[in-house]
Amino acid sequence: MNKKNNEDMNIRHPNVSDYDRVLGVMVNWWGGRDLRNKVYKGLFIHFTNTSFLAENEEGALVAFLLGYLSQTHENEGFINWMGVHPAHRNRGIGRLLCERFFDIARSHGKTRVTSSTAIINTASMNWHKHMGFTVEKTKDSFLFSLKI
């Protein structure tokens, strides 16, 4: 799959039955880091309209974005989890899912999207910078912000 074939993917909102499916790929996609216990199942119940899965023509999971619109910061949307299958990176899939999330955030009056990652995840930091996010480094995390 290359950038021009992203239209061959099925992009849809997740449902609760996708929870185990996403957990099933995380250790591999995160290079052996096991963060599954940090993924809140409620994201697959209460925030499906602001989250996305990308599947290939065979129905295999290629990418996901789990995000929500902040209840506390009225102008923000927050990307809680995002992953792209290692064999499908650098093909615009992550950007495509983000653009879908940005569109929903804008339609609800949001003007900024934020996210964060562990300080050891420099690949995520580099990707967010590539996407145009500003990066703030704290003691144990990177905080990302993008005006949309």
- At residue 59, does pLDDT exceed 50? yes
Answer yes or no: are the C-beta atoms of 23 and 37 closer than 8 Å.
no
Picking from 9, 6, 8, 81, the residue whose alpha carbon sits closest to that of residue 42 is 81
Residue 1 has pLDDT above 50, yes or no: no
* Backbone φ and ψ of 20, nearest 5°: -65, -35
How many angstroms separate the CA atoms of 34 and 16, rounded? 21
pLDDT 10s digits, 13-32:
999 999 999 999 999 999 99
Q: Look at residue 108 in the predicted model and tell me its pLDDT.
A: 97
pLDDT of 7:
61
CA angle 8, 128, 29 (to 5 degrees): 60
Average pLDDT, rounded, for the chain: 94
pTM here is: 0.92
Residues in the chain: 148
Q: Could you tell me where the DSSP H helices lie in 1-148?
A: 19-29, 43-46, 93-107, 122-131
